[in-house]
Chain A
Amino acid sequence: MREAKIPVPEGRLATTVDEVVAAVEAIGPSAVKAQVLVGGRGKAGGIRFAETRQEAETVGRAILGMDLKGYRVERVYVEQKLAVEAEYYLSVTVDRSARKPLIMASAKGGIEIEDVAEGDLVRRHVDLSFGLPTYLCQEIAAEMGLVGDEAKQVATIIGRLYEVFRHTDAELVEINPLVRCGGRIIAADARLNIDDSALFRQGDLPAVEEGTALEKKVHAIGLAYVELDGDVAIMANGAGMSMATLDAVQHFGGAPANFLDAGGGASVEPTAQAIEVLLEMKPKVILINIFGGITRCDDVAKAITQVKTSRGIPVPLVVRLAGTNEQAGIEILQAQGIQAYRDMDQAAREAVRLSQGGA
């Protein structure tokens, strides 16, 4: 924001209680904000205020190291406390339906955007090829109900925020709240979501990845993975098939432990890697659901065999193989004493039965 010349409060990062104290002494009355990748941190106790040395110490101790919605707070941002006169909302995001960037603004800021009434929201699309003209920024500020110098400042910030959106390949850039403070408009808090697919050309942005330890590890080997809290570990090929497999397990009363897409055409090695991920979760049952299109059933069977012989599979394994090289895959598994199912519903039902203690 600062680089884009959007006014922000004075502030600095701190990782220890001593640094928090030093920052508060330098800045004056401050807000101490937990640096974690979750929304709603204020409500969860992740933002507190400090004015004196004593308060800085207390607040620093309380926030640093705390658990905030499952994330440990390692860093805080100590920021000048603003005498807020008004709170606004501003964002640029991608409108999936219109297939265009969308600017949203409201004079009712400071709350989550979902809670802003539709009538209080100003929406304008932007043509990427033509860019954002100045008049449109002014029109948005006027429709927010702003006048005079305040409208002018907000219009300028809208233009700059759109530049941030473009230059950082953002999916969302949001200032909430945008505040008025002694006649000046300041971005008091902001959020920036970068498009993962554009990271290759966003080299100077600090990389922060969301997710649990296992999620990060699996993403690092290039697989799509989401950890859930059930006991049936699931692998399928393709995003849609993987989602449908979770749905099927739930349909029969089971609890999926994860989402794992082994890829639409994964060969032996990546598939074996994916199976090892499932084992790490220590599930009650493993369900592998493959419809071979580009993926070959015999490759999947070979991967299963490889994992079984190299490290063993200590939990019940239910496999469904259909499509390309189905018969070859079934035979490879048979040699390992594993019976493959042809139909997805039967395999899902069996996996759920085993997870509930069925022998």
Chain B
Amino acid sequence: MVMSWIWLALILVATICAAITGRGNELAAATVDGAQKAVTLALSMTGSLCLWSGVGELMEAVGITSMLSKLLRPLLHRIFPGSKSDPRLANALSGNICANILGLGNAATPMGILAAKRMVSKTSPDVATNELCRLVVLNTASIQLIPANVAAIRLSNGCQTPFDILPAVWVTSICAAAVGLGAAWILGKVWKDA
């Protein structure tokens, strides 16, 4: 339903705006042009998306994921103290975060949901616990080693060095995740439930 409203709003704004600025011609042409551009874009992204899905699957198979998750354990115990006494929660959490880092979206979500379910409080199961809030915030701030789809879009737009943005992406996403977690930590202390 949400997407229907967004779609309607986008088309409505474009049409009204074109009527005011008298760009009916361009608007009509854009309907054909945009659809065609989407196919061109998707096709030019296909190669690198396929390659990176392949590399992702290989990284998981050879155990890079589990190596990374061992490295992350101490940090996870700090952010989610509940994982210290619950090895299955700790596994799901580190699996979720490693899959996110390696860009394996398909693998990250099921493990994240598994962790989320184990974080639900027994006494009030419909209220999010502080740890669950932090888990969701961490998942909304994407920390990714190689954002393959962004690199693919850049490449398809004639960029020679699609990976030169990586350091900027790393710094940015780590800052965003830190601010999100920091905000969640502070809010968790002061938040009063009605």
Is this pair of chains taken from one and the same complex? Answer: no
